[in-house]
Amino acid sequence: MKKTINDGLRGIAGTFILVSLALGWFVHPGFFLFTAFVGANLLQSAFTGTCPMMAILRRIGLPDGGSRA
């Protein structure tokens, strides 16, 4: 199946959250702030319908598409 912007966004957000949690646990608790930043960005995109990462994913060529769920 061809990946869409929504697939890419979910994958990147999930990766950022898991990596920042691991860094916060094993390296320095300050990395938990990055986890909070990702969560806040996801929350604001739910209300505004805009997300900077989606613009980047469009630019690299991922197609727009609805959710497959």
- What pLDDT, in 10s, does the model give residues 18-65? 999 999 999 999 999 999 999 999 999 999 988 889 999 999 998 987
- The letter for the amino acid at 52 is P
Name the band, by pLDDT with cuts 50, 70 and 90, for residue 67.
Answer: low
Residue 66, pLDDT score:
60
Residue 39, Cβ neighbours under 10 Å: how many?
Answer: 14
Residue 3, pLDDT score:
86
Place of tokens 């860094």: 23
Residue 68, pLDDT score:
54
Can you say whether the dihedral through the CA atoms of 19, 63, 66, 52 is positive or negative?
Answer: positive
Q: Is the pLDDT of residue 13 over 90?
A: yes
Q: Is the pLDDT of residue 1 over 80?
A: no
Count of alpha carbons within 13 Å of 63, Cβ hemisphere only? 6
- Give start and end residues of each alpha helix (H) in 1-69: 5-26, 32-48, 52-59
Q: Which sequence spans correspond to the domains of the chain?
A: 5-59
Query: And the tokens for 65?
Result: 């598409």
